[in-house]
Structure 1
Amino acid sequence: MRKLMYLLFLIPMMVIAQDQSNEQYAVFENALLTPQPDKVQQFEQGLAAHNKKFHATEPYGVRVYYIANGPNVGKYIWAMGPIPWSAIDDRPADKAHDDDWINNVVKYMTADSDQTYWKFNSGLSNFAKDFKVDNLLVDMYDIKRYENERMMKAMEKVAKVMKEKYPDMTYGVYTNELPSTKDGRDLAMVFFFDEMGWMGEDSKFVENYNQVYGEKGWDDFMKEWKEISDGKQSELWKYQPELSGLGADVTASDRQ
């Protein structure tokens, strides 16, 4: 189981909680940062200093992840949040902050960049216990046009199995707030785990799915999912404590 550019970099993440009292919800700003190949050390030094000076406390705290596989391998995710959209108006953006970002971080980057905003779907996720961010398996799905409603219903089926059969597994389901029909990142399911050995474990998900929905449950689900989706991309993200403003500890309440 498993991108003007100046402005982008000033408002560079993973995802968030809903405030039912005022109908606000939080999002993660996820900025994809690409260092120049011969300037990685300078980039990391500048990024670490910037985050520890300007992004070391909530709600504008940042965690940085190294992408360990796929077409984005060697790049970094700069993740701020969870944060309500309204709070973005007051984010660090004075001259000292901006000059530091431009002169000590952007200076050592390429133009190959991207930014996404992800909304947390609490009912489809499980953060039942406090945990430490270490390794993330990020599965991103391309959802066909006009199929969002069916997708959410299908994910409700997955959530039922996960909560019944894997109650101690920590994972989140996120939807892209500003999706594109071209990039294939509409839905993300993110698993948080401690040791890489977890990747080699047999989850027996199909077996457990059929226990919940019947002998042909998984076959029926896969037929429906084929009609809903156009593919998947998986990435391993590894938390970089020395580059981050926030530490590894996450409390369950932060993700509810």
Structure 2
Amino acid sequence: MKRLLLTLTLAPILIMAQQTNQPPIFMNVMMTPHPEKIEAFEAGVAAHNKKYHTSDPGQVSVFWVASGENSGKYVWSMGPTSWAAMDDVSNYDDAHTQDWNTNVAANALAKMETTYWKNDPKHSNFSRDFNLKNLSIFMVDVKRFKQMEFASILDRVYKVFKTKDPDHQWGTYFNELPNMDGQDFVWVDFFEKSAWMGEEDKFMQWYEEVHGAGTFSGFLKDVEAATNGDRGELWIYRGDLSGSSGEVKSRSSGQ
């Protein structure tokens, strides 16, 4: 029964994932530095990543959380990678483990959170090369057994932004594991200047221009029926702490 319930819960997401050929996975570890050891924590993270995590499939990008209840925490994000590569990239030697324990973990609080996110190429837009800098994180809590309805919502939202703002870059991701924390789906906007945050929100106007006059109220009802809520955060890419270059290559939707 437990296996059946899990299958029923994940089936719509698995169906969407199978439409593409193994979309990339990202393993995100949210860490909190010891308040008296922040400088040592950053130095340890930087040295560790630049020694052990500079290339695929184990390259790491580090982000600093700049808003919300997680402000001041760091996200250690490994990827793009895959489940097929996970055994190899996680098979660390003793030197790696000792370096992590001595220079990173020893300067952080014990509590951390690890999540695994699969990119959803169908609803992402990586139409040009760009470098990571600022990220707007929009996380959605999808209601149980409403994944197919949520997929329909995503189709409509994607069409709006692809039509009205095609040069803007964004990625969409589904949590690979079930949870009760409201972390089922995330839409990530990548932007260069903070002024982007102050631009007028034209989504309602754009939605009706794309889908027809009077359609936005129905869209809101569909969102309410399929989700429990959402929350947002701002992340800042820390190239000085990362093993990655921060460069993101363009790719077509569906790849």
Answer whether TM exceeds 0.5 for this pair. yes
**1:131-170 matched pairs, under 5 angstroms:** 131-170=130-169
Distance 1:215 1:27, change over 3 A: same
Q: How many angstroms does 1:217 deviate by? A: 1.3
Report the Cα distance in structure 2 between the residues aligned to 1:146 and 1:192, rounded to whole angstroms. 30
Q: How many angstroms does 1:26 deviate by? A: 2.4
Distance 1:167 1:254, change over 3 A: closer
Q: How many angstroms does 1:22 deviate by? A: 9.8
Report the Cα distance in structure 1 between the residues aligned to 2:79 and 2:187, rounded to whole angstroms. 17
List runs of 5+ in structure 1 lacking aligned partners: 1-17
Question: Where does residue 6 of structure 1 map in the other structure?
Answer: none
Report the Cα distance in structure 1 between the residues aligned to 2:146 and 2:173, rounded to whole angstroms. 16
Does 1:251 find its partner at 2:246? no
Q: How many angstroms does 1:99 deviate by? A: 0.7
- SS of 1:167's partner is coil
Question: Where does residue 110 of structure 1 map in the other structure?
Answer: 109
Distance 1:19 1:185, change over 3 A: closer
| TM-score for both structures, normalised by structure 2 | 0.89
Q: How many angstroms does 1:20 deviate by? A: 7.9
Alpha-carbon RMSD across the aligned residues, in angstroms, is 1.9
Deviations 1:174-211 (A, max 9, x none): 1100130x200101000000000000001311101001
Choose from 41, 44, 57 the match for 1:43.
41
Distance 1:21 1:196, change over 3 A: closer
- SS of 1:208's partner is helix
Choose from 27, 30, 42 the match for 2:28.
30
Report the Cα distance in structure 1 between the residues aligned to 2:98 and 2:252, rounded to whole angstroms. 31
Distance 1:186 1:53, change over 3 A: same
**Matching residue's letter, 1:75:** K
Choose from 190, 200, 203 the match for 1:192.
190
Deviations 1:106-149 (A, max 9, x none): 00111221011111111111110000100000100011111111
Question: Where does residue 216 of structure 1 map in the other structure?
Answer: 214
**Count of aligned pairs:** 238
Does the 8 Å contact 2:23/2:121 carry over to 1?
no
Report the Cα distance in structure 2 between the residues aligned to 1:134 and 1:197, rounded to whole angstroms. 13
Question: Where does residue 7 of structure 1 map in the other structure?
Answer: none
Deviations 1:205-236 (A, max 9, x none): 11010011122211110011001111111010
Report the Cα distance in structure 2 between the residues aligned to 1:155 and 1:89, rounded to whole angstroms. 32
List runs of 5+ in structure 2 lacking aligned partners: 1-15
Report the Cα distance in structure 1 between the residues aligned to 2:184 and 2:58, rounded to whole angstroms. 24
Does the 8 Å contact 2:30/2:113 carry over to 1?
yes
Question: Where does residue 95 of structure 1 map in the other structure?
Answer: 94
Report the Cα distance in structure 1 between the residues aligned to 2:78 and 2:108, rounded to whole angstroms. 19
- SS of 2:127's partner is coil
Does 1:79 find its partner at 2:77? yes
Does the 8 Å contact 1:143/1:151 carry over to 2?
yes
**Matching residue's letter, 1:79:** S
Does the 8 Å contact 1:25/1:85 carry over to 2?
no
Question: Where does residue 62 of structure 1 map in the other structure?
Answer: 60
Report the Cα distance in structure 2 between the residues aligned to 1:216 and 1:98, rounded to whole angstroms. 58
- SS of 1:189's partner is strand
Which has the larger displacement, 200-209 or 134-143? 200-209
